[in-house]
Amino acid sequence: MSKGPQMETFTVPAPYPAGLRTVRQALARQGLHTPAELDVTARIKNELGVGLAPCVVLYVDEPALLLEAVVFHRSAALMIPQPLVVSGNERQTKVILRKVDSLAQAEYPAGTRDPLVNLHSRMVRAMESIAEREGAHLITCS
């Protein structure tokens, strides 16, 4: 029985518009790009006439990692760029991405796993630089 995709969630303590800008800046500081994005809220509003809180999917990559992966196997283009969901409200912004465990457990063609894990690690570092990871609490021993 499959557990479904495992996700990591980060909270940026800023309203959505500022939080989205902060996410983009943090990704850029890691040398990452967002060559494509999907405005989920606008799409649902246009297609179904339903209003939702702001939500966008940023597809994140780094051209050298993409090149490295597709040199070994063209199917790497299905995995890079990686999606990163940004949603929020007037108080905070949430960022959601896959956990590295879900990437590590999947079977990928030879040569594509390392660039994919490298990309994911940089995405996580970017989010850790601006946000608090949900479920990450300090445990102290007495």
Give the residue, 142 or 122, on which the prediction is more confident.
122
Sequence-distant (≥ 6) Cβ neighbours of residue 33 within 8 angstroms: 27, 60, 61, 62, 63
Whole-model pTM: value is 0.86
- Over range 87-98, report the average pLDDT: 96
Report the amino acid identity of residue 76: A
**pLDDT tens string 37-56:** 999 999 999 999 999 999 99
Contact at 8 Å (CB) between 12 and 129? no
| Architecture (CATH level 2) of domain 7-56+74-133 | 2-Layer Sandwich (3.30)
Nearest to 20 by CA among 95, 83, 91: 95
pLDDT of 103: 63
- The number of CA neighbours under 13 Å toward the Cβ of 131 is 31
